């Protein structure tokens, strides 16, 4: 699908892999998962003395916890196992794991135990695994609340209980992990929506299995290696005409800055020329902070530029809609953001034009705009971010990024990726405008549209991450700062890829 990217599987894919591996796995997958969990517990408690508390549930996730407990006990670590269900109702592998735990001298308590005098060294959630689809309630909700209240590191086995593995939705009460050890492959719910806030630091253990050998990856995580392999060096014998003309159309009254931000971002990423078409006739004639930008009539920009980005500060006027229609009828790559998306969502004519285009169309909605494109609301979009983004890509035959926590990139052929760069400091005005400029710049420079989209999304977040490491933000970070930092990160990637000059 994409080399140098980490596979992601929803629950259905993980279940398929487990079924295909089946009895061929010796030792069993549960035994491997429990051993890996014990090793992770030892790592997390190397500087903390005391007991480990493992709360085990009624399924195979609980079985992983029983194996973990036995391994820790055999390694000389004191362990308390809380388990309140009927052993006779456990799945076969989990029942065998419980029997092995007891045969090793282990015991279980049916009530949530009081903490030792010196507290727990680690608390472990082995209650519910990736199959959970309904809110946690009753005793286990109480146990999760009690686990969350412990002043100790909190480890989730495979996925935090109460987190939907496919969507990242919180299902009622949820375990707040400081670390999650997940098995075989990454799950979408760990990477998007609430997952990054709930799962803590995610560690992947493949259990000595190559999932892609058993099932083709169903999604991918965008990683630095994937982006670096796309880097291109520049010839010494070159000129600005080799790097394209980006046209930004937007900047209605009171929103001129949005178009300028997009243009500045495109310029700083190496576009040969950037033309800005401000729909407000009273707009400035020059950007005194970035005099290289060429401010022209929108109609001229649509004619001259070879890549068009519409939406930053565009507004929803009749004139704005006409500009979007003109761009949609062109044979040029177009990037649609902000009000350009809202105008498309409100017009059957524009919807049809976009879906029928042969040149690439790239769309960058936030959840509210995605809801309008799908004729639904933000809550429904966020309920399944991957599925929502795939539906937009299919309906509009477009390349789409759904922005937000764990931005989702999808293509019309059904491929999808999740990006993990970026942080909450990016929740500020103008960030989407900068992303639009970055995407447009790469397309103008000759990158295939699908590569430009995933690289720009990853770069956008990576630039913000670098600034935070340097003490700039995260709170108070500005879009202008991210545009500036993107240049440095991008050039660094070229050097790392061995293609710098």
CA distance 485 to 12: 39
- As a residue count, the chain comes to 501
User: What H or E segment, with its residue span, contains residue 220?
Assistant: strand 219-222
Strand 108-109's sheet: what is its strand order? 108-109, 79-82, 52-56, 122-126, 154-157, 179-183, 201-205
Binding-site members for K(+) are: 61, 125, 161
Residues 6+ apart with CB under 8 A from 337: 262, 309, 310, 311, 312, 363, 364, 365, 432, 433, 435, 436
232, 499 Cβ separation under 8 angstroms: yes
Q: Name residue, tokens 């790392």.
A: 496
The structure tokens listed for 89 are 């109702």
- Dihedral angle sign, alpha carbons of residues 93, 96, 102, 103: negative
In order of 108, 292, 341, 359, 455, the CA distances from 449 in angstroms are 56, 25, 18, 10, 10
Output the DSSP codes for 404-437: STT-EEE-TTS-EEEE----GGG-STTHHHHHHH
Which conformational region is residue 451 in: left (phi greater than 0), alpha (psi within -120 to 50 degrees), or beta?
A: alpha
Beta-strand runs (E) in 232-351: 245-250, 273-278, 294-296, 307-310, 334-336
Q: Residue 311: how many CB atoms within 10 A of its CB? A: 32
CA distance 290 to 288: 5
> DSSP code of 227?
H
CA distance 167 to 174: 14
Binding-site members are: 60-64, 125, 129-135, 140, 158, 161, 258, 313, 366, 403-407, 432-433
Angle at 485 between CA 481 and CA 487, to 5 degrees: 130
> DSSP code of 59?
S
In order of 56, 65, 83, 165, the CA distances from 86 in angstroms are 12, 16, 9, 26
Binding-site members for (6S)-NADPHX are: 60-64, 129-135, 140, 158, 258, 313, 366, 433
464, 408 Cβ separation under 8 angstroms: no
The structure tokens listed for 92 are 């076969």
> DSSP code of 108?
E
The structure tokens listed for 374 are 């799908």
Binding-site members for AMP are: 403-407, 432
Q: At what angle do helices 431-444 and 449-469 cross, to 10 degrees?
A: 130
């Amino acid at each position: 699908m994409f080399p140098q990217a980490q596979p992601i599987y929803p629950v259905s894919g993980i279940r398929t892999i487990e079924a295909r591996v089946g009895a061929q796995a010796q030792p069993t997958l549960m035994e491997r998962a429990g051993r890996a969990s014990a090793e992770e517990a030892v790592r997390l408690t190397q500087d903390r003395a005391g007991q480990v508390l493992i709360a085990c549930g009624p399924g195979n996730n609980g079985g992983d916890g029983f194996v973990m407990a036995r391994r820790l006990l055999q390694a000389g670590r004191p362990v308390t196992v809380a388990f309140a269900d009927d052993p006779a109702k456990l799945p076969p592998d989990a029942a065998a794991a419980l029997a092995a735990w007891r045969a090793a001298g282990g015991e279980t308590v049916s009530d949530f135990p009081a903490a030792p005098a010196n507290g727990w060294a680690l608390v472990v959630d082995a209650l519910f695994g990736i199959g959970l689809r309904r809110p946690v309630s009753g005793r286990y909700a109480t146990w999760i609340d009690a686990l969350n209240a412990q002043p100790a590191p909190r480890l989730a086995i495979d996925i935090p209980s109460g987190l939907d593995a496919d969507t990242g939705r919180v299902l009622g009460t949820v375990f707040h992990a400081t670390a999650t050890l997940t098995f075989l492959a990454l799950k979408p719910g760990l990477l998007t929506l609430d997952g990054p806030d709930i799962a803590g630091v995610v560690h992947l253990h493949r259990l000595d299995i190559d999932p892609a050998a058993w099932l083709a990856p169903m999604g991918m995580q965008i990683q630095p290696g994937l982006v670096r392999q796309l880097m291109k060096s520049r010839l010494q014998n070159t000129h600005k005409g080799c790097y394209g003309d980006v046209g930004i159309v937007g900047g209605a009254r009171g929103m001129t800055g949005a178009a300028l931000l997009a243009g500045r971002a495109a310029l700083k990423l190496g576009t040969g020329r950037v033309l800005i078409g401000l729909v407000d006739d009273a707009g400035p004639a020059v950007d005194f902070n970035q005099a290289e930008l060429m401010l022209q009539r929108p109609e001229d920009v649509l004619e001259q530029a070879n890549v068009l980005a519409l939406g930053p500060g565009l507004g929803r006027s009749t004139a704005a809609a006409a500009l979007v229609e003109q761009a949609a009828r062109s044979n040029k790559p177009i990037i649609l953001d902000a009000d350009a998306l809202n105008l498309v969502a409100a017009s059957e004519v524009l919807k049809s034009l976009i879906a029928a285009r042969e040149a690439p169309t790239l769309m960058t909605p936030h959840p509210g705009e995605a809801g309008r494109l799908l004729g639904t609301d933000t809550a429904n979009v966020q309920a399944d971010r991957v599925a929502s983004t795939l539906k937009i890509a299919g309906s509009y035959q477009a390349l789409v990024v759904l922005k937000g926590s764990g931005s989702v990139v999808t293509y019309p052929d059904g491929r999808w990726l999740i990006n993990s760069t970026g942080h909450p400091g990016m929740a500020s005005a103008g960030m989407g405008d900068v992303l639009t400029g970055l995407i447009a710049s790469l397309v103008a420079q000759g990158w295939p549209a699908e590569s430009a989209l995933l690289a720009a999304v990853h770069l956008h977040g990576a630039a913000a991450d670098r600034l935070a490491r340097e003490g700039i933000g995260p709170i108070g970070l500005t879009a202008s700062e991210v545009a500036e930092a993107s240049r440095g990160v991008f050039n660094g990637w070229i050097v790392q890829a061995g293609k710098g000059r």
